[in-house]
Amino acid sequence: MYYSRLKIDNQERFFEDIYTDIQRYKGLIDVLLEYDIEFAKTEGETFNNYLKAFKHFYGDDEPEDEIRTDNDITTDSSLQIDATN
Provide the 10 A C-beta neighbour count for residue 47: 19
Q: State the average pLDDT over residues 26-50.
A: 92
Confidence of residue 82 (pLDDT cuts 50, 70, 90): low
* Per-residue pLDDT tens digits for 41-74: 999 999 998 888 888 887 655 544 444 444 555 5
Return the closest-CA partner of residue 65 out of 49, 77, 52, 48.
77
pLDDT on residue 57: 82
Q: How far apart are CA 62 and CA 21, in angstroms?
A: 20
The more confidently predicted of residues 56 and 81 is: 56
Mean pLDDT value across the chain: 78
Domain that holds residue 83: 1-85
- What DSSP designation does 43 have? H
pTM for the complete prediction? 0.61
Identify the helix (H) or strand (E) that includes residue 2: none
Please give the distance of CA 78 from its chain centroid, rounded to a whole number.
8
Q: How many domains does the chain have?
A: 1
